[in-house]
Chains A and B, each alone.
Chain A
């Protein structure tokens, strides 16, 4: 059963595991602290004839109630940091060799794509230029060269768990390797003006045969 969005790239599972780890650890402590908080509210509620007591927190038998959870949470933080750095290194610091490189141009409020065409090279006459639709091959590492024509955007493909800011004046390389053929959403994940909410496109993840057929059909007449 699919409990959440399809994991459609090689690293989608890593991201999901990290999110689950964070949710699990933070959720555990959220429940524990709330249970403790409400228990103490009830246990030390106002009682007729009993004076309130000021506790500084320095008494050894009380101090350990603060110190021990503190140590445990620091230990949990270390686990989270190690998990996060491993995923960050794998996705953001590591750039596998490209099977195909596509230029992705964000503007208010559309995504346009320059595919390399038959020769596999960008900026040649056989490039395939599209608006609102990107075509990639399943099982192939794709480098997306992200550019903006105007303001900040963010190239987000939820099924790939990919989200990368697009910054005017810079060319930022994002990568992914799609694992499941299909047609999925691309969205803008950085407020970019009045049309931001409907700045959507679609990514077509195709089998090698479908991808070659698309290239043949969409290639410009030269």
Chain B
């Protein structure tokens, strides 16, 4: 990373930037390395220490839609969304639509890196609750782009539990422009408490294997 930054500075100094053309695969790789990898890791495997989820293998449509939301202040602008506020300036740094599209394609192509389960929940109990989720996320958790429902088989369980809590309490999905988030909010509200969330995510962790 250091020599790239240095060469970019030299590029500016001599009046021609060495940064790749916006929207190209090289541009996406460069930006991933500069902007995403410091938290999400070079392989997109995430880092639970700083609440950065695994992103490798997520579909391009979902990655781009979330980057747009973060960039435009639709996600990550709630007072209690501490992790979202950390993500937001990173998305603002990738402000061109073409660059966001290229990053989505890049992230989708990374081999999925779902970490081992960390949340203790009763998967059998969670299976019943998951019936509600199947309408959009499908029985195998593979998601449905037509309904803006992402796959649930790529992200770590701690992240999914946290997102359920955020949806339930209006920390995520409450922005007037977050239409897909607004769909998810009432679904999360059907889960009574943290134990119910842990159970359903414990079941989700059995999917996609």
A residues touching B (Cβ–Cβ < 8 Å)? 107-110, 112, 114, 129-132, 149, 194-195, 198-199
Contact = CB atoms under 8 A, between A and B. Distances in A.
Given A110-B76, A149-B82, 18 more contacts: A107-B82, A107-B85, A107-B86, A108-B86, A109-B88, A110-B85, A130-B79, A131-B77, A132-B73, A132-B77, A194-B35, A194-B38, A194-B39, A195-B89, A195-B90, A195-B93, A198-B92, A198-B93
Contacts of B89: 109-110, 195, 198-199
Contacts of B79: 112, 114, 129-131
Contacts of B35: 194
Given A129-B79, A130-B79, A131-B78, A110 B73 contact: no
A112 B93 contact: no
A161 B39 CA distance: 34
A110 B88 CA distance: 8
A132 B90 CA distance: 15
A59 B76 CA distance: 72
15 contacts: A107-B82, A109-B89, A110-B76, A110-B86, A110-B88, A112-B85, A114-B79, A131-B79, A149-B82, A194-B35, A194-B90, A195-B89, A195-B93, A198-B89, A198-B93
A174 B82 CA distance: 23
Contacts of A109: 85-86, 88-89
9 shortest A-B CB distances, which residue pairs? A110-B85, A129-B79, A195-B89, A198-B89, A109-B89, A131-B77, A108-B86, A112-B79, A194-B38
A149 B84 CA distance: 14
Interface string B87-115: 01110110000000000000000000000
A6 B19 CA distance: 36
A110 B77 CA distance: 9
Contacts of A130: 79
Nearest to B77: A131
A110 B92 CA distance: 12
A104 B82 CA distance: 14
A40 B85 CA distance: 59
B207 to A, nearest CB: 33
B93 to A, nearest CB: 6
Nearest to A111: B85
A149 B39 CA distance: 18
Contacts of A149: 82
A132 B92 CA distance: 13
Contacts of B76: 110
A57 B89 CA distance: 59
A107 B82 CA distance: 8
B69 to A, nearest CB: 14
Nearest to B38: A194
Interface string B8-32: 0000000000000000000000000
A182 to B, nearest CB: 21
A126 to B, nearest CB: 14
Contacts of A195: 86, 89-90, 93
Contacts of B92: 198
Nearest to A199: B89
A18 to B, nearest CB: 33
Contacts of B78: 131
A112 B35 CA distance: 23
